[in-house]
Amino acid sequence: MDAGASDRPARPTLAAVAARAGVSPSTASLAFSGAGPVSESTRARVLEAARALDYGGPDPRAQSLRRGRSGIVGVVMEDRLREAFRDPMNIAMLDGLADELGPAGLGLLLLTEPGSGGAGLSLAPVDAVVLVGCSTQLDKAVVVLHQRGIPVVAIEAEPMADVLSIDLDNADATARAARHLRDLGHADVALVTLPLEPSHARGALTEERLAASTAFTAKERIRGARQVFPDAGGVVAAGSSVEEGMIAGRELLRGSRPTAVIAQSDLLALGVVRAAEELGIRVPEELSVVGFDGVRIEGAAPWELTTLVQPAVEKGRAAGAAVVELLAGVTPEPRAFTSELRLGNTTARRA
């Protein structure tokens, strides 16, 4: 008994259409796919039969099985959609991805894996998978994908065997920003980091949390900052937003405060600037703030953040291109992108 279709109007099949048209199934198949030599009259007859039977063309599911391809690329983002989409970088990246995948006839299957350990991932009929900022939690799922011969591309993820990585110089770039601050005379620098755990818990940045964390990007950026300021402490935000930045900023700026803040995203950085504003602390005179991403935020004026501009769309495009190549049997080279320090008016020499 089929749940959901109590009355089967006996949906027509290609074979039925072929019979109706008086041709063989394979001929009918060719008539639909367009490829292959089919006489105009035969094709017309097939199409006519299809119309008569109300047949909508070959079933994509059967095609996938037969062809071994579904035309779908899974995109796994660690966060819930609302979190993931809040960050303009993710969107830019997806956009780049879609730019490459769309023309190749591939669709984007959004898979979020909130702790499910990649269950959906191994059940989805995908031709390839793109991991976005995923932790190593997905190990098992990735193993299954490999067993199936499904190529995996990872953007900013802990290196994994047989996973093509599209990387960003998170550590180096942050170190560059840190040196910029040091050159300006800053020594007391605090960090505002992206979430360290899937739970998105707010709080102080402790060594325990850091050690237990699986958030690759956040950890790399911390590592970079500490290459220059080994003792830099800070707070962990619950997400990448101006609001979270303000919360972190208020926390950081009360009492004896740092002279500079390295925030792990522009949204966070802007939040810190706002918090400072709120507390009557002048930026950049009394507090320098740097961000990461290089997104233009609506309403950020009059601030022009000093930030690390990352090529988000390019990252997505590279991932998409890699997927296309992998599906074509080519083995692309891993890519590494670099971010550029853009000086704005939120950093200045230490007072």
Contact residues: DNA, CB under 7 A: 1, 11, 13-15, 22-30, 32-33, 35-39, 41-43, 57-59, 62-63, 65-68
Nearer to a copy of itself, 93 or 189 (CB): 93
Number of other CB atoms surrounding residue 243 within 10 Å: 15
Site string for a copy of itself, 96-135 (x = CB under 8 A): --x---x--x-xxxxxx-x-----x-xxxxx---------
Q: How far apart are CA 229 and CA 186, in angstroms?
A: 10
Give least dist CB 349 to a copy of itself, A: 27
Give least dist CB 93 to a copy of itself, A: 10
Number of other CB atoms surrounding residue 281 within 10 Å: 16
Partner from DNA, a copy of itself, none contacting 159, C-beta within 5 to 8 A by type = none
By CB under 8 A, which span of 57-65, 168-176, 229-237, 333-341 interacts with a copy of itself?
Answer: 57-65
Q: Which residues contact 199 (CB under 8 A, 6 or more apart)?
A: none
Nearer to DNA, 66 or 282 (CB): 66
Helix extents (H) in the chain: 14-21, 25-33, 40-53, 60-67, 81-86, 88-101, 119-123, 139-148, 170-183, 207-212, 216-228, 242-253, 266-278, 312-327
Q: How far apart are CA 15 and CA 22, in angstroms?
A: 10
Give least dist CB 107 to DNA, A: 17
Q: How far apart are CA 22 and CA 323, in angstroms?
A: 42
Partner from DNA, a copy of itself, none contacting 42, C-beta within 5 to 8 A by type = DNA
Given candidates 15, 44, 52, 65, which one binds a copy of itself under the rule CB under 8 A?
A: 65
What share of residues in the chain are helix, strand, coil (percent, to 5)? 45, 15, 40
Partner from DNA, a copy of itself, none contacting 70, C-beta within 5 to 8 A by type = a copy of itself
Backbone CA torsion sign across 167, 73, 94, 223: negative
Partner from a copy of itself, DNA, none contacting 211, C-beta within 5 to 8 A by type = none
